[in-house]
Amino acid sequence: MLTIARLTRAAPLRAKFQVHRGFSSMSCVRQATHLDKDTHASTAQRLQEDSKVLLSLYGRPSLIFTHGQGVRLFDLAGRSYLDMNAGIAVNALGHNHPQVTKVISEQAQKLIHLSNLYHNENAGDLARLLVAQLNGRGKWSEGAKVFLCNSGTEANEAAIKFARKYGKAKGNNPNKDTIVSFSNAFHGRSLGALSATPNPKYQAPFAPLIPHFVHGEFNNIAQLKDLINENTCGVFVEPVQGEGGIHPSTHAFLKALRERCDEVGAVLVFDEIQCGLGRLGSFYAHQQYDITPDIVTIAKPIANGLPVGATIVSEAVASVIKPGDHGTTFGGSPFASAVAKEVCSIIQTPQFLQGVHKKGVYLLEKCKEAAAGSKLVAEVRGKGLMVGIQLNEGVSTQTFVDLAREHGVLVISAGCNTVRLVPPLIIQESDIDEATAVFKQVLQKMEQ
């Protein structure tokens, strides 16, 4: 339960206050009530100096984090925060994990970078681990290959290229180059990945985008026959949408996608960048549905904060990819691969995954309890340690985020007016109790 100490150390919640996009001077005033004068002045000065050289792309609160431990983060003033967003689903093992930091230290003293002009001792081990966890079923029964890169966007860019190469290589249809994705999807911010992200907020400033991308309605099976046709080379879908608002796919929808892709000879791509690698209680998200794609993309948690991504392709797709078709300078480095191998080795154990599943059920249950009776909440939904609290239209998610932070709990927003919870996979039930007690108080205060 929420402790009296945590309540008294936070600034009093205000019944009503003006909400701004980003963080205005009002936000700074609220934060300032936490800080002594010297610390506040130091933070403000550093932020002002930083603003002179950092391109302003993010709305951020007026505080500076200095270190973390487990599921906690600490700011310049030494205040503790329960981290319920894990660096946007990245810090699966939390902060300062002893096994991860040990590997980082040891590998940094051996070798950091070579480029892909040479082999290193860690990249192949990591790829073998990733392939082994596919369990050799479905499209993976004949083997798989791994392309290692640096981010989710890069993994999806590779998947787009591989799907188009496969479409050109298979059959005699010169027009087989269309990529399909779905409403509320988020696949990245490069022009290729952005073209598969049907959100005007992200797309409009950078139009025209790459041609031959079409979009359908998520979880709508009836549309698939017309949407996916002989000109389709690839279909992208997130088994559980993250940025779009925590929307799980239905089993029937993914099954219908698999069948339709097989009918027209299209590559089915599962974007598991946010929902994969243990977050749903299985190593890969698609294992929750017992449906295998032709390509799976992963990234966020794979190295617990170091930039690593991977595009895993079936043998059929791998057969059309030749040397020179794609590449990366930094991907698969000895340093990043060593760390990712350690992280994945921890996540893959049955005991760890069973724990995630159990805690995911508990988180969803406690969030529903916290929201019960609230006039502000439209729905609480999720799968595994990936939960969304959707607020009613006109209710500010930013207000929720600000108030939760003032009471020492960090959460983030997502599409469809949703508060997104993607905590470290090492979170404990007592941490969930603490967070959801704050959520309940935040909702009560927002209703006043």
Q: Do 206 and 251 have their domain in common?
A: yes
Is 105 inside a domain boundary? no
Instruction: Report the Cα–Cα distance between both ends of the chain, in Å, rounded.
Output: 23
Query: Which two structure tokens, joined as six digits, stand for 195?
Result: 């073209």
The predicted-structure confidence for 269-281, as pLDDT tens digits, reads as follows 999 999 999 999 9
Ranges 10-19, 74-83, 182-191, 201-210: which has the least confidence: 10-19
The domain of 279 spans 111-348
With CA atoms as reference, report the closest residue to 216 among 249, 265, 251: 249
Q: Do 370 and 437 have their domain in common?
A: yes
DSSP assignment of 65-81, as one string?
EEEEEBTEEEETT--EE
Q: Do 261 and 361 have their domain in common?
A: no
Is 102 inside a domain boundary? no
**Residue 138 gets which letter from DSSP?**
G
Size of the chain in residues: 448
The predicted-structure confidence for 319-331, as pLDDT tens digits, reads as follows 999 999 999 999 9
- Which strands form 412-414's sheet, in the order they lie side by side? 377-382, 387-391, 418-421, 412-414
Q: Do 185 and 286 have their domain in common?
A: yes
Q: Do 320 and 226 have their domain in common?
A: yes
Q: The whole model's pTM is what?
A: 0.89
Query: Which two structure tokens, joined as six digits, stand for 329?
Result: 């300078």
A 10 A CB-CB count for 368 gives 17
pLDDT at 136: 84
Burial 251-264 (b: 16+ CB within 10 A, else e): eebbebbbebbeeb
Q: Do 274 and 338 have their domain in common?
A: yes
Q: Do 394 and 335 have their domain in common?
A: no
Q: Which residues pair with 267 in a beta bridge?
A: 234
The predicted-structure confidence for 345-376, as pLDDT tens digits, reads as follows 999 999 999 999 999 999 999 999 999 999 99
Q: Which amino acid is at 45?
A: Q
Q: Do 323 and 430 have their domain in common?
A: no
| HEC string for 5-27 | HHHHHCCCCCCCCCCCCCCCHHH
- CATH code, domain carrying 272: 3.40.640.10
d(Cα 93, Cα 266) in Å, to the nearest integer?
36
d(Cα 132, Cα 334) in Å, to the nearest integer?
20
CA angle, 234 as apex, 228 and 239 as ends, to 5°? 90
Domain end call among 348, 380, 398: 348
Domains identified in the chain, total number = 2
pLDDT of residue 10 exceeding 80, the answer is no
Is 337 inside a domain boundary? yes
Domain end call among 315, 348, 381: 348
pLDDT at 37: 58
- CATH code, domain carrying 25: 3.90.1150.10
The predicted-structure confidence for 284-339, as pLDDT tens digits, reads as follows 999 999 999 999 999 999 999 999 999 999 999 999 999 999 999 999 999 999 99
d(Cα 68, Cα 430) in Å, to the nearest integer?
18
Q: Do 274 and 419 have their domain in common?
A: no
Is 386 inside a domain boundary? yes
Domain end call among 331, 348, 365: 348
The predicted-structure confidence for 232-276, as pLDDT tens digits, reads as follows 999 999 999 999 999 999 999 999 999 999 999 999 999 999 999
